[in-house]
């Protein structure tokens, strides 16, 4: 392809349409569906509460995680007594996810059998988590779900079409919106600036370390280094894909990012909670550290939830992680997209590709589900603000908040299982040593700098969550 002609063609794109389906995004992108479902479930819980029918919400949100059973008879009795509720719940989730993914283009004939398996495995995960001795053996639900999923996906040849229901990102986005319903907006407003400041430091330094190490020390292709740099600094493969378009990266570049992000994310899901426990970190501090170290939201929530279970303070660990990762780092995607598009076009040789930077990218590539998190937080804060504390604790918490927390936990378990079930190591691309070290050193910087910022610089702040 002639580079001059390519540039001329691209420069003719002034006034081009937005790189999306415009309004159709609201029913074709899972971010928007996560918002509709999350806010819809929240409003439904409130309406049922106001109508004196909270029993419906509690029934739909049933799970065996809080049983603390010690014998199989107890577990069997729970399922015998509530079998019909689990059937209704399965149908409830199946309709919500089946219809919405169908609208997005996923065939129902593939989704239904796959989701049935995912649901059954999730019930088993909850049952394990509800065992009275689970914590003694470090059988935290996220870790068990991840490991079980990995074993199944890599021992049994699951057909690829089953991925139709193993939608890691969709489940985690819905869970994050539901998380907003239990997240006071005052905390978002007071903690947000610190999270954004910390995320800015991490995002800049990690991205630049990977990029300059890759290009200067290892002589790697600069498009590959941009893709790896943002993948390590912001939000893993999603960020890499956004930057791949900005710099016109090759398929191999994204493939390399997928392999490195997945491998290191899995390692950190398992390692970070145990290291945090050995250091005796408060839950909020560990959550923030995980939020600065992990790449993908789903992997980070698995690690933060695991640590929260370990120390008996899941709430603080999830709050620290959410503030740091979802509110802090994820917002950098659109900014990096236009920065790299600008670098590719203005600084690099034009013949290497690249397109003109466009400030609208910040909105086009904005992770929209974050809006749902904020809206849910504001609406629920407004609703609960009218109740005296005693009434809130007696009526609102058990009838509105706890069902939403349970639904969120279902979303988490679907997500954690799906991570394992979609990770087929044989499918991952072989990665060169230079790429491996450039990214791995960046991971090291991320972890060390994240520790310094989360524990030393802002430790008192995160510890108070």
Interface residues for other proteins in 126-155 (CB under 8 A)? Answer: none
Buried b (16+ CB within 10 A) or exposed e, 121-152: bbbbbbbbbbbeebeeeebbbbbbbbbbbbee
Closest approach, Cβ 322 to other proteins, in A, equals: 17
Site string for other proteins, 90-129 (x = CB under 8 A): --------------xxx-----------------------
The residue (of 89 and 257) whose beta carbon lies closer to other proteins is 257
Exposed/middle/buried for residue 273 (C-beta within 10 Å: 0-12, 13-18, 19+): buried
259 binds other proteins (CB under 8 A): yes
Looking up tokens 């577990």 gives 75
250 binds other proteins (CB under 8 A): yes
* Out of 16, 120, 132, 151, the residue judged to bind other proteins by CB under 8 A: 16
Q: Which of residues 170-229 bind other proteins (CB under 8 A)?
A: 170, 173
With contact defined as beta carbons under 8 Å apart, do 27 and 103 qualify?
yes
Using DSSP, how many helices (H) and how many strands (E) does the chain show? 22, 0
> Looking at residue 16, what DSSP letter applies?
P
| Listed ranges 54-62, 271-279, 352-360, 389-397: which one lies at the site for other proteins (CB under 8 A) | 352-360
Q: Which of residues 19-48 bind other proteins (CB under 8 A)?
A: 19-21, 25, 28-32
DSSP reduced 3-state for 69:
strand
Closest approach, Cβ 418 to other proteins, in A, equals: 9
| Listed ranges 13-21, 48-56, 311-319, 439-447: which one lies at the site for other proteins (CB under 8 A) | 13-21
Integer Cα distance of 231 and 324 in angstroms: 16
350 binds other proteins (CB under 8 A): no
Buried b (16+ CB within 10 A) or exposed e, 58-84: bebbbbbbebebeeeeebeebeeebee
Closest approach, Cβ 443 to other proteins, in A, equals: 14
Closest approach, Cβ 172 to other proteins, in A, equals: 9
Integer Cα distance of 82 and 229 in angstroms: 49
265 binds other proteins (CB under 8 A): yes
17 binds other proteins (CB under 8 A): yes
The residue (of 167 and 408) whose beta carbon lies closer to other proteins is 167
167 binds other proteins (CB under 8 A): yes
449 binds other proteins (CB under 8 A): no
Closest approach, Cβ 250 to other proteins, in A, equals: 5
The residue (of 226 and 400) whose beta carbon lies closer to other proteins is 226
355 binds other proteins (CB under 8 A): yes
| Listed ranges 88-96, 206-214, 417-425, 442-450: which one lies at the site for other proteins (CB under 8 A) | 417-425
The residue (of 10 and 82) whose beta carbon lies closer to other proteins is 10
Buried b (16+ CB within 10 A) or exposed e, 319-345: bbbbbbbbbbbbbbbbbbbbbbbbbbb
Integer Cα distance of 366 and 360 in angstroms: 10
Integer Cα distance of 368 and 226 in angstroms: 23
Q: Which of residues 273-312 bind other proteins (CB under 8 A)?
A: 295-296, 298-299
> Quick count: other Cβ atoms within 10 Å of Cβ 114?
22
With contact defined as beta carbons under 8 Å apart, do 409 and 123 qualify?
no
The count of residues interacting with other proteins (CB under 8 A) is 75
The residue (of 68 and 360) whose beta carbon lies closer to other proteins is 360
Q: Which of residues 363-392 bind other proteins (CB under 8 A)?
A: 364-369
Region for residue 22 given its phi and psi (left: phi exceeds 0; alpha: psi -120 to 50; beta: otherwise): left
| Listed ranges 48-56, 198-206, 255-263, 276-284: which one lies at the site for other proteins (CB under 8 A) | 255-263
Integer Cα distance of 422 and 160 in angstroms: 9
């Amino acid at each position: 392809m002639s580079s001059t002609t390519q540039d001329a063609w691209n420069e003719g794109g002034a006034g081009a349409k937005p790189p999306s389906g415009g309004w159709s995004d609201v029913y074709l992108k899972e971010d928007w569906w996560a918002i509709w479902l999350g806010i819809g479930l929240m409003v439904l819980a409130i309406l049922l509460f106001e109508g004196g029918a909270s029993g419906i919400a509690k029934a739909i949100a049933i799970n065996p995680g809080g049983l603390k059973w010690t014998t199989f008879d107890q577990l069997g009795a729970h399922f015998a007594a509530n079998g019909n509720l689990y059937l209704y719940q399965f149908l409830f989730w199946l309709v919500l996810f089946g219809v919405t993914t169908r609208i997005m283009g996923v065939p129902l004939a593939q989704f239904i059998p796959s989701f049935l398996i995912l649901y059954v495995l999730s019930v088993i995960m909850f049952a394990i988590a509800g065992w009275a001795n689970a914590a003694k053996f470090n059988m935290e639900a996220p870790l068990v779900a991840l490991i079980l999923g990995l074993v199944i996906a890599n021992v049994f040849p699951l057909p690829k079409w089953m991925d139709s229901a193993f939608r890691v990102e969709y489940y985690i986005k819905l869970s994050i919106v539901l998380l907003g319903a239990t997240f006071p907006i005052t905390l978002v407003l007071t903690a947000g600036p610190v999270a954004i400041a910390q995320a800015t430091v991490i995002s800049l330094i990690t991205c630049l370390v990977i990029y300059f190490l890759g290009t200067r020390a290892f002589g790697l292709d600069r498009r590959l280094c941009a893709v790896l740099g943002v993948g390590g600094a912001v939000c893993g493969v999603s960020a890499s894909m956004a930057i791949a378009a900005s710099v016109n990266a090759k398929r191999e570049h994204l493939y390399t990012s997928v392999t490195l992000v997945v491998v290191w994310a899995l390692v950190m899901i398992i390692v970070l909670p145990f290291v945090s426990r050995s250091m005796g970190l408060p839950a909020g501090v560990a959550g923030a550290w995980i939020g600065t170290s992990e790449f993908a939201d789903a992997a980070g929530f698995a690690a933060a939830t695991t640590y929260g279970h370990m120390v008996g303070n899941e709430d603080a660990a999830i709050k620290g992680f959410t503030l740091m990762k979802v509110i802090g780092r994820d917002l950098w995607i659109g900014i990096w997209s236009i920065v790299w598009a600008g670098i590719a076009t203005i600084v690099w040789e034009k013949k290497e590709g690249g397109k003109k930077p466009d400030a609208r990218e910040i909105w086009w590539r904005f992770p929209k589900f974050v809006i749902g998190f904020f809206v849910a937080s504001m609406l629920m804060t407004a609703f609960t603000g009218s109740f005296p504390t005693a009434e809130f604790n007696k009526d609102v918490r058990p009838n509105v908040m706890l069902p939403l927390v349970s639904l969120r936990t279902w979303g988490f378990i679907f997500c954690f299982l799906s991570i394992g079930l979609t990770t087929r190591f044989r499918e991952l691309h072989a990665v060169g040593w230079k790429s491996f070290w450039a990214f791995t050193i960046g991971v090291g910087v991320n972890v060390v700098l994240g520790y310094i910022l989360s524990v030393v610089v802002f430790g008192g702040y995160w510890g108070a969550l």
